[in-house]
């Protein structure tokens, strides 16, 4: 694989390298699951309607089922022969009479219109109803199949199921669906300085944000997180966690321990096993590592919180979304709302925030500024050969 001047791999080259490693993860296997668990899953096959919807003619209103000829001249008083509730079976209509009917109840055979209750005046003692407004044939009648007919396309393959899709599937009696399998992800954050939220912060310690952040990122992009661990800088402890991770997951994400310091536990463990560690021409997120352990790809991200998140967005998110059937994230072109400068030779991925049709940086450059990252909703993608941009210049932004 080629590299840029100075020994740095380009973002595009590293993304292609990672995509090749994750090819098996993107195989697109499918599983059958109950509809009750299908929210936010992507359909792996197209679905046609197995029944008409509605399955029978029914009333759109609370009112009276009539034959339209009997109410062609109003006012007219009709004998009420009974009441039809939603869920009742079929009934027969006698011309010149009425049946009180509730919304959703089946239209009786021989009736062809519904008179809404507000257009009538009932006399319960006499068992009659006076109709004050005509009702043409078909008035307030929901015809069988007026929503969808048996065999018509209902949802195409690739549909990411939202509540409205679940409603349609349930309405036609679907109980389970084939969806794209979710890739199984294991996350290992490293660093002796990290402690879990809730613990007291001793001198020199910081809370671990990478583990929760990478796990949340994986889930948000269609994965199942099957393991979350934190290793200090002890190689034996990390190796034990790694062995567990590759046993249960399709892909492993690590954070920290990939640079050139004295306690680079991920690099020191994986490099002798064929792992590759190098610098990618991007900021933040330059140090990167990849390996294959027992057939399972491992992506080793930097330890700075912003670097870890940006690395996930650039290298892991596309493969996870493809594997789970989710649509690719579409880049946007937006004008800058203020001038900015960039470092030559590195592709800058600045935290940004959309404002109307424009975009502006939302935080400083520091890869430790995780609170600043929380204010961003996009990454502003500045090419490596661009050093300055003016207000109004179009830039590509990556939605977060």
How confident is the model over 274-298, as a mean pLDDT? 97
Query: SS3 of 239, please?
Result: helix
Query: Is pLDDT above 80 for 3?
Result: no
Whether 138 and 155 map to the same domain: the answer is: no
CATH of residue 235's domain is: 3.40.980.10
Whether 373 and 390 map to the same domain: the answer is: yes
CATH of residue 380's domain is: 2.40.340.10
Whether 126 and 227 map to the same domain: the answer is: no
* Total domains, the chain: 4
Question: Is 187 within 8 Å of 229 (Cβ atoms)?
Answer: yes
Whether 203 and 222 map to the same domain: the answer is: yes
Whether 171 and 45 map to the same domain: the answer is: yes
Query: Is pLDDT above 80 for 364?
Result: no
d(CA 261, CA 191): 12
pTM of the model: 0.87
Whether 69 and 134 map to the same domain: the answer is: yes
d(CA 67, CA 207): 74
Q: What is the pLDDT of residue 2?
A: 38
Whether 157 and 285 map to the same domain: the answer is: no
Domain's final residue, options 271, 304, 323: 323
d(CA 59, CA 107): 6
Whether 167 and 273 map to the same domain: the answer is: no
Residues 171-180: pLDDT tens digits?
999 999 999 9
Q: Which residues pair with 131 in a beta bridge?
A: 76, 120
Whether 45 and 173 map to the same domain: the answer is: yes
Query: Is pLDDT above 50 for 6?
Result: no
User: What is the percent of the chain with per-residue pLDDT over 70, rounded to a whole number?
Assistant: 97
Query: Is pLDDT above 60 for 33?
Result: yes
Q: What is the pLDDT of residue 41?
A: 96
Query: SS3 of 218, please?
Result: helix
CATH of residue 171's domain is: 3.90.105.10
Domain's final residue, options 323, 352, 386: 323
Distances in Å between the Cα of 129 and the Cα atoms of 28, 80, 174 are 62, 7, 41
Query: Is pLDDT above 90 for 111?
Result: yes
Query: Is pLDDT above 70 for 198?
Result: yes
Q: Which residues pair with 130 in a beta bridge?
A: 77, 121
Query: Is pLDDT above 60 for 5?
Result: no
Sign of the alpha-carbon dihedral angle for 311, 313, 319, 323: positive
Q: What is the pLDDT of residue 123?
A: 97
Whether 48 and 173 map to the same domain: the answer is: yes
What is the overall mean pLDDT for the chain?
Answer: 94
Phi, then psi, of 134 in degrees rounded to 5: -65, 155
Query: Is pLDDT above 60 for 23?
Result: yes
Per-residue pLDDT band for 168 (boundaries 50, 70, 90) equals: very high
Whether 312 and 241 map to the same domain: the answer is: yes
Give the domain range for residue 348: 332-399
Question: Is 226 within 8 Å of 184 (Cβ atoms)?
Answer: yes
Whether 155 and 235 map to the same domain: the answer is: no
């Amino acid at each position: 694989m080629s590299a840029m001047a100075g020994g740095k791999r380009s973002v595009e080259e590293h993304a292609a390298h990672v995509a090749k490693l994750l090819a098996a993860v993107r195989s697109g296997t499918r599983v059958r699951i109950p509809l009750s668990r299908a929210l936010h899953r992507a359909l792996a096959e197209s679905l046609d309607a197995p029944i008409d919807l509605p399955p029978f003619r029914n009333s759109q209103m609370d009112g009276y089922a009539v034959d339209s000829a009997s109410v062609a001249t109003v006012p007219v008083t009709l004998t009420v022969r009974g009441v039809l509730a939603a869920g009742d079976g079929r009934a027969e209509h006698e011309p010149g009479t009425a049946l009180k009917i509730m919304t959703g109840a089946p239209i009786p055979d021989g009736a062809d219109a519904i008179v809404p209750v507000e257009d009538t005046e009932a006399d319960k003692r006499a068992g009659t109803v006076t109709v004050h407004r005509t009702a043409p044939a078909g008035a307030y009648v929901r015809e069988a199949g007026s929503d969808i007919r048996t065999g018509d396309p209902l949802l195409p393959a690739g549909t990411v199921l939202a509540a409205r899709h679940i409603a349609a599937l349930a309405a036609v009696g679907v109980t389970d669906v084939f969806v794209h399998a979710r890739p199984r992800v294991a996350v290992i954050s490293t660093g002796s300085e990290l402690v879990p939220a809730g613990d007291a912060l001793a001198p020199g310690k910081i809370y671990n944000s990478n583990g929760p952040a990478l796990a949340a990122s994986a889930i948000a992009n269609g994965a199942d997180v099957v393991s979350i661990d934190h290793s200090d800088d002890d190689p034996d402890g990390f190796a034990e966690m790694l062995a567990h991770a590759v046993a249960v997951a399709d892909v492993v994400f690590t954070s920290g321990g990939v640079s050139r310091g004295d306690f680079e536990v991920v690099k020191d463990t994986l490099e002798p096993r064929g792992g590759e560690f190098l610098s990618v021409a991007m900021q933040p997120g330059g140090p990167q590592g990849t390996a294959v352990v027992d057939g399972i790809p491992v992506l080793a991200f930097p330890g700075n919180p912003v670097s870890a998140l940006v690395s996930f967005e650039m290298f892991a998110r596309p493969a996870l979304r493809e594997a789970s059937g989710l649509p690719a994230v579409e880049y946007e072109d937006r004008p800058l709302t203020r001038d900015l400068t960039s470092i030559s030779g590195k592709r800058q991925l600045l935290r940004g925030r959309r404002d109307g049709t424009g975009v502006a940086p939302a935080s400083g450059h520091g890869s430790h500024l995780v609170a600043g990252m929380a204010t961003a909703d996009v990454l502003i993608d500045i090419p490596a050969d661009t050093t300055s941009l003016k207000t109004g210049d179009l830039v590509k932004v990556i939605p977060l």
